[in-house]
Amino acid sequence: MPATALVETLDALSPRELPQLDALVAASGWNQLAADWRLFERLGSVHAIRDAEGTIVASGAVLPLERAADAPRNQPGAAWISMILVAPAARGQGLGRAVFAHCLERVRAQGRVAMLDATPQGEPLYASFGFAPLWRLTRWRREALAQAADPAPVDRPDAAPLAALDTEALGLARPQVLADLLARPGSRCVRDGRAFALVREGRVAHHVGPLLAADEAHARALLPRALAGLAGPVLIDVPDGRARLAQALRAAGFEPQRGFARMALPPAGTAAPAGHPSFIHAIAGPEFG
């Protein structure tokens, strides 16, 4: 790692810095928008390394999530680490490891469980820091349709009941995150009495998630409504072992793209949030958990 590689915390994203962070996303082919960086800025923190000219060449984000009210006493809150990105020309110099270590130290200083969704390429790095996998998931992608889709009804319900089910499923409370995602232009919610899904726009594709349901049958039944009106590419990140949902995704034109591992590193003497993973049929995204 170059001696000049200094990781800094960006207190506020300037009009110059935000496009530089967006450029890292674009160079990596990821799906995040400027609104996602703004969410991290508002609810968490953004960290960066600059080159000699002051341009951001590596990034990371930390998003604190509070423990559920009924969580065991030995389970603290958590913080999601994500957006570990390095500009192509700066790769191979240890910058990703440096910014990740900085993010992890921030989480440890807060006494929180460090959590993340690791790509296959990143999993060995995180394992070297002591992270262990909790469960695995797969990103599915559907390419754009050949024909336009009829517009779907827009439903933006009160986020509080959705957040309550989300907290039960995840074992962590993130009502502000869900409210932010739901309030964005182009976002909508689909739901019935036993399931809901959030659909939002991304840089390269729409993203479906979280998709929460009492069982896989209800999740599968809600899928066509989530996809209604989406003619462009669509991404959905589904826990492994959802055979009937996977079958429905294939029938809808999706193909598996890559895997993720949900990983956690609790402080000594504490436990990672348990929640009810069986309720989770698609996550909010690897940047949000």
Q: Crossing angle of helices 216-227/243-251, nearest 10°? A: 20
Query: How long a stretch of residues is the chain?
Result: 289
CA separation for the pair 170, 163 (Å, rounded): 10
Question: Do 226 and 199 meet the contact criterion of CB atoms below 8 Å apart?
Answer: yes
DSSP state of 89: G
DSSP state of 11: S
What is the reported pLDDT for 155? Answer: 66
Whose structure tokens read 């990703």?
96
Q: Distances in Å between the alpha carbon of 198 and those of 180, 188, 254, 269, 282?
A: 11, 6, 18, 35, 10
Pairing label, strands 7-10, 45-50 = antiparallel
CA separation for the pair 116, 100 (Å, rounded): 11
**Successive 10-residue mean pLDDT values, the chain, 289 residues:** 74 94 97 98 98 96 92 87 97 95 97 96 94 97 84 68 90 95 93 89 97 95 94 97 97 97 95 92 96
pTM: 0.94
CA separation for the pair 150, 132 (Å, rounded): 44
